[in-house]
Amino acid sequence: MLLKNYKATFLDELSSWYDEKEIESFFYLILESFHRKKRIDLALEPEMEMDALQLLRWESALAELKKQKPIQYVLGETEFYGLPFLVNENVLIPRPETEELVALILAEEKGKRKEGKVRILDIGTGSGCIPIALKKNLPEAEVYAIDISEKALATAMKNAELNQVAVHFRLQDVLATEELESSFDIIVSNPPYVRHLEKIEIQPNVLEYEPHLALFVADNDALLFYRKIAALAQKHLMSNGKLYFEINQYLGKETVALVESFGFTEVRLHQDIYRNDRMVSAIK
């Protein structure tokens, strides 16, 4: 079958679930993943065909998209900060706001002159997107990452190998941690922060497929992870070390107040490109 002909079928089959622009985006993402071809290639090769096995893969992807399974999970891969990442239902799909968190850290860290290697810890690493992107851009840094999920860590380790970086991963429950094994120049975390009361705002493809362990916290203790991580950071950050959080956009002021209560200075609330409160940085 000609791929250009199948495109019309693909758009029609998904029209009840998605708008045309999003369906087109899915089509070209699958085209690149399955055939290593881009939109321009299909335009230049209008007679491009797929065989029966390739058609079967497309039909399988189509069936999963009809269930509103995220395209990243359908393909088993995504991109973060210009790097390839494997993803599955054991890890959150990396978000653009997390890229902004990485960009903030790199902007503040690059160009600094320090004796010895910068030591970085990522808490609740998931797919490993934060520590891997930091290590790729700060190759001299010594980067560590922890997570409570063995399956998430397995994915993160594969992603480190895929991107040819060395990150020290460890299975660890931060809420049960009283002491970290070392001191760090930077501690960063994108912990669970979505309250159950906010579920009504979340798309079905997120609720049904992404790991709730990495998403949700109790309504009556939404800053549980921030409080624990701030306490550990106060003990294990080097002097003038930096703490970075991705945060719940509705709890910016509360998160700033919590971090300040632990004695951190220069506590700053940062907005994302949509002017939502999304990040907090602080100095010990």
- pLDDT tens, 22-64? 999 999 999 999 999 999 999 899 899 999 999 999 999 999 9
| Residue with the two structure tokens 């497309």 | 58
Most confident of 106-115, 197-206, 226-235: 226-235
Treating both helix axes as pointing N-terminal to C-terminal, what angle do 52-66 and 20-35 enclose, rounded to 10 degrees? 140
Residues paired with 121 in a beta bridge:
144, 187
Residues paired with 2 in a beta bridge:
49
- For residue 61, give the nearest of 20, 21, 16, 31 by alpha carbon: 31
Task: Report the half-sphere exposure of 221 (CA within 13 A, side-chain side).
Answer: 5
Q: What is the pLDDT of residue 196?
A: 83
Please tell me the distance from the alpha carbon of residue 6 to that of residue 1, in angstroms, as a whole number: 7
Coil/strand/helix, residue 49: strand
As given in the structure block, the two tokens for residue 264 are 């951190």
Coil/strand/helix, residue 111: coil
Q: Is this structure's pTM higher than 0.75?
A: yes
Identify the CATH homologous superfamily for domain 89-283. Vaccinia Virus protein VP39 (3.40.50.150)
In the predicted model, is pLDDT for residue 248 greater than 70?
yes
Angle at 215 between CA 183 and CA 209, to 5 degrees: 130
- For residue 168, give the nearest of 180, 90, 179 by alpha carbon: 180
Please tell me the distance from the alpha carbon of residue 148 to that of residue 130, in angstroms, as a whole number: 16
Q: What is the pLDDT of residue 113?
A: 56
Please tell me the distance from the alpha carbon of residue 267 to that of residue 244, in angstroms, as a whole number: 10
Please tell me the distance from the alpha carbon of residue 245 to that of residue 268, in angstroms, as a whole number: 10
Alpha helices in 76-215 (DSSP H): 96-109, 129-137, 150-162, 204-209
Angle at 128 between CA 127 and CA 132, to 5 degrees: 140
As given in the structure block, the two tokens for residue 116 are 């010895």
Angular region, 116: left φ>0, alpha ψ -120 to 50, beta rest: left
What is the average pLDDT across 274-281? 97
Give the model confidence (pLDDT) of 101-132 as tens digits. Answer: 999 999 998 767 566 689 999 999 999 999 99
